[in-house]
Structure formats: C-alpha cells, structure tokens
Amino acid sequence: MVMRIVEIVVSPIIAFVIGIFLLGLSRKIMARIHWRYGPPITQPVIDIIKLFNQTSMSHGRLFNLGIILSLAGSMVVVLFLPIGKLHPLSGSGGLLVILYLMLFGPLGIALSGGEAANPNTSIGISRTLVLALGYELPLILILLAVMSHYRSISIVEIVRAQQETHWSLLSFPLVVPGIAYLLILPAILGERPFELIKAPQEISSGPMVEYGGKYLALATIQHAFSSFISIALFVNLFLGGSSNPGFFIMKVIVVFVVEVLINAVFPRLRIEQAIRYLWRWPALIAFAGLILVYIFKR
C-alpha cells in the first residue's frame, strides 16, 4: 500500500522531469544541427520560472478549467503507463483507458482555447482535432493489432509478454505495425513536419494565442507530459518496456532523439497533405499489420 502511494507520487515526477529535459534537449540538438551554440539545456525551466512570475490575462472560468483539466489528464495517464516497474493504477483499466485519458490533453486545451474567442485559436484547434483524427486511424489499427496479438487489453500484460519473449518491434507480425507507429510518431508529438497545430508564422501559435504567464507555463508542462507519454507508449508497446525505470528512460530518450533529427530537417506540411499522408502510408501499413496478425494468430 505504501509502495503504491510512493509509486503514485514518483511516476508523475519522473514524467515531468524527463519531459522538461526532453524539451531542453530538443532545443539544444536543433541548435547544434543548425550550427548554432543553442540555449542552455535548462532553458525550458528558466522559461517556466519566468512565466510563473508574470502577470496573465484570463478569459473566464472555462479558460482556467480547460488548461487545468488538460494537464491533470496528462498526469493521470502517467499513472496508467508502466514506467519500468512503476504502474500504480494500471490494475484499474488497460490500454483502452489510456487511449481515452489521452483525450483530456487536447480536449482541455480545445475547451479553454474556445473560450479565448480568437479565430487563430479556433483554426488551431480544428487543425489539432483533424490531425488527431488523421493519426488516430493508423494508431487504432496498430493498437488493435497489438491487443489482438497478445489477446489482452492490459498494457502490463503486453509488456510482460514481450519481456518473456522479445521486443514486438523485432517479432514477425508486429514489426509491421511498429513501423507504422514510427511513421506517425511525429504527428502524435506535433513536431515537424506535422507542426501545423501551433504554426507561429501562419496562425500565431494556434491554440496558445491567448495564453500568457502561468497559462503558457501549464501548457508547456502539458506539452512535456504528452510528448513523454506518446513516446513511453511506443516504448511499452514495441520496445518491450523495461524491467527498471533507468533503461526505460534511456529508451525514451533514444526514440525522442530520433524524432528530433526528423524534426530538425523537415519543413511543415499543410493540413490536407498531412491527412493524405497519414491516411495513405501509415494506415495501409497498419492495416496490413492487422491482417497479418489476424492470419498468424498465436
């Protein structure tokens, strides 16, 4: 019981620290790729401290509630994700619950941005949701392939089954959905070439237009959480999780660096191009993977 409480306290803290670290790391690596010196790796922390000491404007109750809800939802998802051996709440709901709790992030931002009453916000949110529909289609096929391959909707079971045999990215039928997941991971992270949600040059940072001060700080933290979550999900489903948190975090960082390398060299797609891409190649590959899993039942 005490162990359970310790886990509940620890795992969001790990997610927070790693997420913030990932943000700083991405800025540093991007700078290096651009032949710049780049900011110190603690720059996101400095930004968050500054933002918490600024005044801010509120557009109403829902404006506050939405951002709180989105960050809280992301924190709760961490409790359901196994980080190494830490999975405090995964007993009370499996992968489906995670999939649904991941709704809270975009939904909360969408609600509070909706009250901000700015067309840029609305355009950003409509892009967010359309892009989410775009990558959910392959993602659902991938998750269904994994779930019906391991005959379980509990992510802990899936991780355990991988550690008994080997990573599902390296096992035959599941390698196909794994590749599809790698293809849609930039879209899930909202990085380039899918950085069309907050495109500062066209819609002036989209849903974040009216966020300033502590609102922007909470939004930044939420972004850190969500990028950690979407990579940790990949690591759990395809890279076999890990037996202790250290290795797990190593895997997360490695996958994130790969994504940053993609992010640094690509331009931004238009939304139709993004949807067309997501519904063509990743969806086809994921569909093929589901068929293969359906054929080669264990």
Partner 1 sequence: MDRNKLVKWLKEPAKMGHKYSLHAVYFCTGCGIIEVPPSITARWDAERFGVIPVATPRQANLFLITGYVSVKTLKAIIRTYEQMPEPKFTVGFGSCPINGGMYWDSYNTIKHLDKYIPVDGWIAGCMPRPEAIFVAVTHLWTLIDKEMANGYKKYRAKYRYYRANQEKVLGTLEWPPLFSIEGKDEELVKETA
Partner 2 sequence: MSIEILLIVAFGGAFLTYFLGKISHILRDAFAVLLSCALIAFISYFYGKDIERPLYVGFLEMQLLLRLNTLSWFFAITVSTVGTLSIIFSLSYIRQREKTDFYYFMMLLVNASMLGIVLSGDLVSFYIFWEIMSWSAFLLISYNRGPALAAGMKYIIMSVIGSIGILIGILSIYTTCGTIHMTQIAAQLTAASSRYIIFIIITFSVGFGIKSAMVPLHTWLPDAHSQAPSPFSAVLSGILIKMGTYGFLLIMYVIVGMKLFLGLGSGLFSVNYILCFLGAVTAVIPTFIALLQNDAKRLLAWHSIGQIGYIIMGITLGTSLSIAGGIFHLLNHAMFKALLFLTVGAVEYRTGGVRDLNSLGGLIKRMPVTFTAALVGALGIIGVPLTNGFVSKWLIYKSLILEQHPFFAFAAFIGTWGTLLSFYKFLHNMFLGQLPEKYKDVEKAPFSMQFSMIIFSIVIILTGILPGIPLKVINAIQTSFGFGPLHITIWGIISETGTINMVNIFFALIGACVIVWLIFRAGPKATKITQDNNYAAGAAIPKDRYHYTVDFYNPLYRMIAPFLRDFVDEFYMRLAKWIQGLGNGVRRIYTGDVGYYVIYIILFLAVLIFIQMKWSIW
The single residue among 35, 267, 297, 298 that binds partner 1, judged by CB under 8 A, is: 35
The single residue among 16, 170, 212, 292 that binds partner 1, judged by CB under 8 A, is: 212
Q: Tokens 């306290």 map to which residue?
A: 9
6 contacts partner 2 (rule: CB under 8 A): no
Measure CA 34 to chain center: 25
How many whole angstroms separate alpha carbon 170 and alpha carbon 173?
Answer: 9
Fill in the DSSP letter of residue 90: G
How many whole angstroms separate alpha carbon 69 and alpha carbon 21?
Answer: 23
Q: Three-state DSSP class for 56?
A: coil
284 contacts partner 2 (rule: CB under 8 A): no
Q: Is the dihedral of CA 191, 197, 200, 201 positive or negative?
A: positive
- Judged by CB, which is closer to partner 1: 39, or 84? 39
The single residue among 5, 6, 49, 284 that binds partner 1, judged by CB under 8 A, is: 49
The DSSP result for 191-236, as a single string, is -TTSTTTT-HHHHSSGGGTT--THHHHHHHHHHHHHHHHHHHHHHH
- Judged by CB, which is closer to partner 1: 42, or 165? 42
Binding mask 53-82 for partner 2 (x = CB under 8 A): xxxxxxxx-x-x--xxx-xxx-xx--x---
Q: Three-state DSSP class for 125?
A: helix
267 contacts partner 1 (rule: CB under 8 A): no
Q: Tokens 């950085």 map to which residue?
A: 195
86 contacts partner 2 (rule: CB under 8 A): no
200 contacts partner 1 (rule: CB under 8 A): yes
184 contacts partner 2 (rule: CB under 8 A): no
The single residue among 6, 13, 17, 96 that binds partner 2, judged by CB under 8 A, is: 96
How many whole angstroms separate alpha carbon 189 and alpha carbon 126?
Answer: 17
- Judged by CB, which is closer to partner 2: 26, or 154? 154
Residues at the site binding partner 1, with contacts judged by CB under 8 A: 27, 31, 34-40, 43, 46-47, 49-57, 200-201, 204-205, 208-213, 216
